[in-house]
Structure formats: C-alpha cells, structure tokens
Structure 1
Amino acid sequence: MARMTMIEAIRDALDVAMGADPSVVVFGEDVGYFGGVFRCTAGLQAKYGKTRCFDTPINESGIVGAGIGMAAYGLKPVVEIQFADYMYPAYDQIVSEAARLRYRSAGQFTCPMVIRMPTGGGIFGGQTHSQSPEALLTHVTGLKTVVPSNPRDAKGLLLAAIEDPDPVIFMEPKRLYNGPFDGHHDRPVTAWKSHEMGEVPEGHYTVPLGKAVLRRQGRAATVLTYGTMVHVALAAAEESGVDAEVIDLRTLLPLDMEAIVASVNKTGRCLVLHEATLTSGYGAELAALVQAECFWHLEAPVRRVAGWDTPYPHTHEWSYFPGPARVAEALRQLVEVA
C-alpha cells in the first residue's frame, strides 16, 4: 500500500493501464512532453513513446473528436481537457457523437473513451478555470460521470473508467490534487501522504462505477455529496454537533440509489451539498429523487447547500464555496424542523 497524492494516483492509474493494454492512448494539451499543467501525465511519454502519449493543438473539439474516432476503431483513448471550463467547444462532440455512438449504430460501434477534466475552484483561476459543469454532463444519456474525493478512489475509478465500453467523464477536483483541506482556505490540513484516504493499493485494482461509499455513519441526517465537498461535509458534521451520515456518491451517473435510499430512510432527513451553483445544479436531481423514493420516511424537506447563483467570483472564491460553517448551520436548521 503506497501513499500518494491524487495527482500521483491518477498518473499511476494511467501507467498501469498503458502498461497492461497497448490500445490505451493518452493525449491532450501539454500532456506529453510537459506532463500536463498539473503533472498528472508526467513521465508517460518518456516511458511509452510519442505515439501513445502525445500533445495536441489547442482544439478541444478536435481532441474529443479524434478520441471518438480512435475509440470506434478499437483503441481506448484517455483524453484530457485541461480545465473543465474548456469542454464547451467540445460539448457537441461529447453529446452528439460520443454519448450516442452505441445507440445510433445499433451496437455496431462503441466509444470506450475517458475524458479527464480538472473541475471546480480552489486555485484562484477565475471564471474560466474554476467551473463545475457536472449537471450539463449528467443530463446526457449515454455518458457516465465520475467525481472522486481521494487518491485511492481516483486510481480505482479511473482504471474502471478506462475498462468501461462506453464514454466516461472523469472529473478531478483541483482542490484535492495535493491533499485534503478544512474548507476555509486553500492550504491542505495535511498531505494525502499522511492521510488514510491517501493509501493507494499498488498495481491494478478497480472501484466499481455506480457505487457510493459511506464516509461517516450517523442517525440524525444524511448528507449526499461528492468530490471536494465530501471533506467539507465531514468537517461540518463535526462542527455542527449533528449526528450526520455522509455519503460520498463517487459516481453521479449511474447513481447508487440503493445506498441513498437506505441512508435517508434511516435518518429521515437529507442535505444535498455541491460546489456548483444552486439553480439547476446536480443537487436538484438528487433532491427530486430523494423526495420520490423516500417521501414516507422524510421528517423534513430536503435541503440544498451549494455555490452562489452568480458568475464565478474570482476575488470572493472562498466565500462562494460552501464551507464547514455554512453547511454546519444548514445541518442544525435541518434537524430542528419538527
């Protein structure tokens, strides 16, 4: 069991996949010689050559389009969109081609590709480097959407995504690349290398897509969350004094409804937490599903805590994020509802 950062775990997953399967190819802007802006692909070109790990022009639609063609041909491309904010020029390729290839070809072609994209804020990147567009992707039938919260899951989920026969969107929270944090500032509380979630098995293993995990047991309320906000939820549960259960969804589509229903039926109260803006965010889907599936067990309305409904505020980044104090107050209010 090695201790890794999320960056190292992602790099290790790619190395394991490329070493085991010559059909796995990695490409995107700066991922080859430079090793990616976050260094997730550092050393892969030197090890596997320029035909299996290579740089592309600044052309997201071209990157994704080339990946779709390679996937249809029989390769397993893992393409990187340098920031999730840059996916919009490729959105038509993702939605109209990658997601629909199996259906529109009546199963003659599949699209076994992974689209990696760093997501969320935490680096003071402003409006074009900090967005969380998962709701736009989970809306699309034919895509799977994954958001890990720690290095161990990042490696296992990425290997599972590479082996999946259909397109997977793999969203990597930038604030978690180098370590967990307390939600109040951008410096990690402790490095992943000294944190239990930073313990990563060596070699090949997978974390199944579509399976949530219980991060904290509780009886008073359930917090449904993913990615960066898992750590905020854990901190908020301690700060609030509420006996909250925290569910890390890990995969947003397909969704582990069995785990959600079991937890909410047990606690009778549910708080949905995410970093993206509130209106039409992924939390709205979660709230609707919980209301539909757990109505007779609910003791209070489902509550949502999310980012502001504003363009991404560069100078007020840490106020925009739901932090432990805001989530703790929401938990207290939730359990006070008679």
Structure 2
Amino acid sequence: MLARLAENLFWAGRYVERAEDTARMVDVTYHTLLESPASEVGGSWAQLLDVLHLRTAYGQRPLAPAEVLAFLVLDRDNTGSITSSIVRARENARSVRELISSELWESVNDLHLDLGSRDLRRELTDQPYELFKTIRRACLTIYGVASETMPRDDGWRFMALGRVLERAEMTCRLIDIRYQHLEDLAGPSRRLVGANAERPRGADRTDFHHWIAVLKSASAFEAYRRRYRSSMDPADVVEFLLLEPDLPRSVVFCLSSAMHQLQVLSRGRPSRAVRALGRVTASLQYRDVGELFDLGLHDFLDTVQARVADVAEAVADEFFRHHPVGSMHAIATA
C-alpha cells in the first residue's frame, strides 16, 4: 500500500473517533451543568477543553457555554472541532475511495452533508441533545459499516489503528483531568494516596454525580454499574476506565487492540513502533490500581500519553515517512 494512502486511512479513523468523542463529552458536560451551580460552569468547560487538548487553542475567550459550544462544534479553524474533524475525515476517505467500501464512503459523506445542511448554531441553542445524539450515532454507524463491509486488510488495520490510538489518548486525558479536579474538591483527608492508604467509604452526593459524568463521557456508565452495582468508589472508576480488558474505551483495551493491528502491519518484525507500544501496554496490563496511586496517577498518565504519542510518531516514521501532522499532541506542542 502506498504510504500516502495508508496515512489517509489512519487519519480518517482518528478524525471520526475525535468527532464522536467530542460530541459525547460536550453532551455530557452540557447536561451535567444544567443541574450544577453557576459557580461550576466556567471550571467545567475549562476542564473539558483540557481533556480535548484545546485549552491553548481556545485562548483567553470567556468560558461562556455559547462560546465554548461554538468553538467545539462549529469552528472550522479549530482542528479539534466536530465539523472540522468530519470535514477532514471525509477528505481522507475521499482520497482512498478505491480502498474502502462504497457503503463506508456513503456513511462518511452523508454525515458531512447532513451537518452542512443544518443550522448548527440554532440547533445548539434549541436542541443540543438531538444534535449530539445525531452526530454520535452517525459516527457509530461509520464504525459499524466499516466493520461489516471492509476486508481485514492493511487498509482496515491502519484505520482501526488510528481510531484506537486516538481513543487511548482521549481516555487517558479524561481520567487525568477529571480525577485531579475531583481529588482537589475532596481535599487532602479523602485523597487516594496509595494501595495501603485508607480508602474512602464512598463518594458524597456531589462526587457521585461527577463520577457518573466521567463514566458517561467514556460510554462506560452502564457497564460499570453492571460490574460494581451502586458503588462509586473513585479507585474503582479509575481502574475500570484504565485497566478493564473487556471495556472498548479502556486504555488497556485500546492499546491491546492497537498492538494486534500493528503486529500484523509490521509483518512480525520487532519495529520501533511495536516495541514502544509493547512497553506502554505492558506497563498497564500488569499493574494493580493501588500501585498507580502509589506511583502518582497524574505522572503515570502523563507518561502513558507521551508514549502513545511516541507510538504514533513511530508509525508515521515507519509507514508514512514523515511525522504526523494534526494530532492533538502535535497541535498542543506546535
């Protein structure tokens, strides 16, 4: 496969994932704030911008809901906005139409045309929930169509690899930013500081709703409740989102999936990308959540994010012959 085509498939996967993640997290934040005190509004939007790695790009603009929503949904100059991500996903898909199924191309193109035909600014004011639901479902449809209509060849694998690497970075930042905020709210007496420390006996009402929002932001709330019932222990939430091997959005699941795709693409060669991905995957697979708190959760997650970005750069070096442009990591450090 030509390097250019492989890269386009890789980024098509990343951009569709980015659009879906953004729509879901904006939706959860927006509706959580409807029942929150006014004093929390600015801070919650700032946290979301941090999770999406867009705080620097947003600049010093007021953290008013209307302005943040416009930036995250409508702003074509923001490469992380939903409309920008869908435009870029379509451009990448259009350039590889001979390698993808006609059904997949139609799914991506239909979403692009649908967004272009809507009065998005009005819908953000009148019915944001319906808009975000439409975008999320359309992105999930794209995943389903790709899964059911594409052979498991190199093209499929590059697209799947881009999607799970994007998802791993996003889940890492979600855990990191939200946990830091909630730990600060809890105060020193209730912080989780290690495996041998006394763990809190449950979250208070405010924390409970915040942790529900975190789980919903990763499409993991219902799966979590089936596992832990009524518990909302912070350590359990972190463990589930980070280390649960059967949860599609957990970091371990994403990195294990990426490893499978990359090993096949590398034809069994111990490439730099495979070695880098193997190290970061192993650092999670054989950890207990208590160890992570002993090590320092924030520092550990920072390290994981940096290593995932290194994997993406190694993939670009080995398969695309240049460094990736447009990733959240690259945008943030440009």
Which has the bigger relative contact order, CA under 8 A and spacing at least 6?
Answer: 2
Q: Higher helix fraction: Structure 1 or Structure 2?
A: 2
TM-score by length of 2: 0.26
Q: Higher strand fraction: Structure 1 or Structure 2?
A: 1
TM-score by length of 1: 0.26
